[in-house]
Structure 1
Amino acid sequence: MALKIRLARGGSKKRPYYHVVIADVRSPRDGRFLEKVGHWNPMLPRDSEERVALDTDRIKYWLEHGAQPTDRVARFISDAGLIERAARNNPNKAKLGKKAEERLAEKKAKEEEAAAAAAEAAAAPAEDAPAEEAKSEEAAAE
């Protein structure tokens, strides 16, 4: 019998709560299981100690008897120090799509044009300044 250490969902709608269970691979997600070995409450903050609880002795036992953890459960077990989990890396995950890159390039071009226009306006001689000075001299004479 092939065994998995996996999550079985509980809790109400929009309030998930998961039990870490040992189950046959052919049984449904929330169906029959052999043993409950922990729980995970994703609604709690990440730094909470009650977020994940595991029965490490029973998990060691089942790992020795051939049970394979799912990816999510393997994270929990490796954090507990029971197994070594190879770090996964997806370098393309953070890359922008084609349209997003085009929008970013357009935005940069507009910013460069605006900066050039502002520099050009600052470098141009101020024509309004003499008129303002004449107005202030008239006001001072009165």
Structure 2
Amino acid sequence: MAVKIRLKRLGKIRAPYYRVVVADSRTKRDGRVIEEIGKYHPTEEPSLIEITSERAQYWLGVGAQPTEQVLALLKVTGDWQKFKGLPGAEGTLRTKAGKADAASAIEAAAAEAEKVKAKAAEAKAAAPAEAADESAEAEAEA
């Protein structure tokens, strides 16, 4: 049985996403699979590529042949270099910057509000003191 590592297409007409699957080479593109080993979302920026490295290494080791597209993904994640024993096994995968969680965002906003309130209170306290100094100077001149 010839086994291939290939992409299984999912999603809408103009919004595709793929699963990286191991399947018999004679089955349909979206047909029965042996195992799903990853995901690929090409429409996101940067593209989401998640491949279970351990399973990819296993299937490559037992002779599964990746398609051209999957080979490119394996090179990006570094799994192909790791399998072949080449340098660059860390891959060139780019990831999205993580979003700050809601709790830390709320704390940061509260801290900023406290700073603004403190500055306003200092300005308010300084204004009567300056007015008192000016009135004392005016009385001294008179």
Sort the TM-score into its range (normalised by shorter chain).
0.5 to 0.7
Offset, 1:12: 1.4
Distance in 1, Cα, partners of 2:77 & 2:42: 17
Aligned-pair identity (%): 43
Map 1:71-110 → 2, pairs under 5 A: 71-84=68-81
Count of residues paired in the alignment: 82
- What TM-score does the superposition give when structure 2 sets the normalisation length? 0.55
Offset, 1:76: 1.0
Offset, 1:43: 1.1
Asked if residue 67 in structure 1 is aligned to residue 64 in structure 2, the reply is: yes
Question: What is the root-mean-square deviation in Å for CA atoms of aligned residues?
Answer: 1.4
The CA deviation string for residues 39-61 of structure 1, in whole angstroms up to 9 with x for no partner, is: 10011013x5xx11000000000
| Higher radius of gyration, 1 or 2 | 1
- Unaligned residue ranges in structure 2 (runs of 5+): 85-142
- Unaligned residue ranges in structure 1 (runs of 5+): 86-142
Off by >2 Å, runs of 4+ in structure 1: none
Within the candidate set 44, 50, 53, 1:53 is matched to: 50
Aligned to 2:14: 14
Distance in 1, Cα, partners of 2:11 & 2:80: 28
The CA deviation string for residues 50-93 of structure 1, in whole angstroms up to 9 with x for no partner, is: x11000000000001100001111011112222249xxxxxxxx
The CA deviation string for residues 12-37 of structure 1, in whole angstroms up to 9 with x for no partner, is: 12110100000000000000100000
